[in-house]
Structure 1
Amino acid sequence: MPHISEEQLKARLENKQLVETEDQMTDQYKEDLIRILTVSADTELISAPAYYHAARHAPSINALISALAIIQDEMGHAHIAYRLLEDLGVKKEEYVYKRAPAKFKHPYAFDMPLESWEELVVANAFYDRAGITLLGDIYRNTTYGPWKRALVKVDREETFHLRHGEIWMRRIAQEEGGRARLQKCVDWMFLLTVEWFGLPDDLKKHAGQLSYGIKGSSNDTLRQQWLKTAVPLCEELKLDIPARWDDAQQKFIITCPFPAHFDAENKRWKLEDGAITWDEVMKRWRARGPANQYLIGRAQRGHHEMARAA
């Protein structure tokens, strides 16, 4: 149980002292920490079956081995985050194996099935870039010591995943018909990753993660950091994206209606319907996507089979 007052915690943070144990945090700090750690853990976990589903379409045995190495990394990252949650009183086994699929907190993008090698490598280039953006910010800025130290390994491995995606996108773009195949992926995956960073700052409800220094940057700042490197990659490969740099605003802007309705069945943005509210986006997120039950089921299947056999 937490044993520190808000004033004591504030003084600790102002003195640049890391929070190391539960008795050095308040109830609110712990609640905010569990919330963001859960998103991180769930995202790493679901990425493994999501990537495996697409890795089966690898063009060579060497490509498959690289994809399997990434999947192994993601499982390790999930274990790290769930282990940190366990230190905060979360029952890891129940959290991983007994939660209903719809209760997991990963980004909606991972509820969409990855069904080709092209979709896998674009996911590495887009989704893992988002992961590096988020976790890199936490690694540099977090006030929670155990997470900061754990992220040394995670940050290096996620960089490999990103490079894997970039290398393969460049390779595929040189193939006959390759750019068109990549464009088909980018058309639905780009905006899903822009969404990844969550509500705009003016709509964000939970401010504790920033005020406590659990993370260092706001959602919109992180979104801009992602765009800063994702947009040049797409421009280099001559892939059409609905984003560009705006000199007047000194930031990247989205050049299509956003947020927008998404046709999950056909992997298509219904931009012709115009922009929607973030409340409507949140409704879609809460309903989860078409691969949610299948992918979480894959992650939980072995445990359930062992329980039935016992």
Structure 2
Amino acid sequence: MTAISALQSEEALVSRLRKQQLVESIEHMSPVYLEGIKRILTVSADTELISSPAYYHAAVHAPSLNAFGSAVSIIQDELGHAHIAYRLLRDVGVDTEKLIFEREPRQFKYPYAFDVPLDSWVELVVANAFYDRAGYTLLGDIYQSTTFGPWKRALVKVDKEETFHLRHGEQWMRKLNKDRSGHEELQKAVDWMFLLTVEWFGLPDDLKKHSEQLNYGFKGHSNDELRQIWMSTAVPLCQELQLNVPAHYDEAQKKYVVDCAFPAHFDAQAKRWLLEDGACSWDDVIKRWKARGPKNEEFVAMIQRGKKEMLRLLEQEA
């Protein structure tokens, strides 16, 4: 019996979920559930994987050996998180060797923000405070809500480590913010990184195409709800440090609102939002995401280089 023929009917899956029973293996999945879990796991795995070269690019600018060690520890965690997600993909029938080492760079599915280089220690710690906070928000929601049992159990470890990453960013931001030059450098980083993280959560709910993530309980909150959860801690952090961000809490609406044109065009080379051009459409944002950013090819090449070098050596010896 093949893995596909062992899949359950949609009715059997829905019955299982209504009984609040976790999905433990491919035999408990319907075809639609299987494709949906592959999609969300691929995004999670790719995001964790590509964060490693993205963070290392900036970690070399650490102000001390101890700081560098902390950054490398975070990178090690991210690779471990990627391994967990790829292992789960392998368990549901995905050829992960091909997925990691044979895909073209633009085919990887991770947030656009990681294609924009982090060129300093300041940008790295803001990434920890913003990007890892986004990861914690997303994976924490999955940890609490997912119906896929193996992922729920694996995320116990991931949830704790992502907390360390964002706290590392917060502590360093507070440390750097103590003098004027540090505050100014933080503001420069926040100016371009804040909105990149706001868009990290994907299309607004009224434009979302894949409903199975909520319908099957892969996660518990919608994109817009997760965006609000992220802003509910990111905005107060920036306010505490007197860093300007284009967002505030609106008492009348009982939610955080973005104060500038959003979504907007972004100049990745200059690390600057073209807010003077006004808002763009989400179709424009999707085009930017699909075209990828300046470091996409370089960072994917760093991941794939080892295996390619090994294959070349084997060919030479043959």
Distance 1:6 1:17 in 2: 15
After superposition, the C-alpha distances for 1:170-208 in whole angstroms (9 at most, x for unaligned) are: 000003410000000000000000000000000001001
Q: Which of 41, 47, 63 in structure 2 is aligned with 1:37?
A: 41
Tell me the residue number matched to 1:143.
147
Distance 1:136 1:286 in 2: 26
Tell me the residue number matched to 1:260.
264
Q: TM-score, normalised by structure 1?
A: 0.99
Q: For structure 2, list consecutive stretches of 5 or more residues without a partner in the other structure.
A: none
Distance 2:222 2:291 in 1: 25
Q: Which of 1, 7, 12 in structure 1 is aligned with 2:11?
A: 7
Q: Which of 207, 211, 214 in structure 2 is aligned with 1:207?
A: 211
The percentage of counterpart residues that share the same residue type is 66
Q: Which of 84, 100, 103 in structure 1 is aligned with 2:88?
A: 84
Distance 1:117 1:98 in 2: 32
Distance 2:17 2:283 in 1: 34
Distance 1:179 1:72 in 2: 29
In the TM superposition, structure 1's runs of 4+ consecutive aligned residues that sit over 6 Å from their partners are none
Number of residue pairs aligned between Structure 1 and Structure 2? 310
Tell me the residue number matched to 1:162.
166
CA apart distance, 1:3: 2.4
Distance 1:260 1:220 in 2: 17
Tell me the residue number matched to 2:303.
299
Q: Which of 172, 175, 180 in structure 1 is aligned with 2:176?
A: 172
Residue identity matched to 1:86? R
Distance 1:135 1:256 in 2: 28
Residue identity matched to 1:112? V
Tell me the residue number matched to 2:228.
224
Distance 1:16 1:266 in 2: 49
Tell me the residue number matched to 1:73.
77
Residue identity matched to 1:131? G
Residue identity matched to 1:10? V
Distance 1:108 1:174 in 2: 31
After superposition, the C-alpha distances for 1:216-246 in whole angstroms (9 at most, x for unaligned) are: 1100000000000000000000000000000
Q: Does 1:237 align with 2:266?
A: no
Tell me the residue number matched to 2:291.
287
Tell me the residue number matched to 1:134.
138
Tell me the residue number matched to 1:99.
103
Distance 2:238 2:305 in 1: 37
Distance 1:64 1:13 in 2: 45
| 3-state secondary structure, aligned to 2:248 | strand
Distance 1:251 1:307 in 2: 53
Q: TM-score, normalised by structure 2?
A: 0.97
| 3-state secondary structure, aligned to 1:266 | coil
Distance 2:7 2:132 in 1: 37
Tell me the residue number matched to 1:192.
196
Distance 2:265 2:230 in 1: 22
Q: Alpha carbon RMSD of aligned pairs, Å?
A: 0.6
Q: For structure 1, list consecutive stretches of 5 or more residues without a partner in the other structure.
A: none
Distance 2:311 2:241 in 1: 49
* 1:14-29 equivalences in 2 (<5 Å): 14-29=18-33
Tell me the residue number matched to 1:121.
125
Residue identity matched to 1:52? Y
| 3-state secondary structure, aligned to 2:205 | coil
Distance 2:39 2:313 in 1: 34
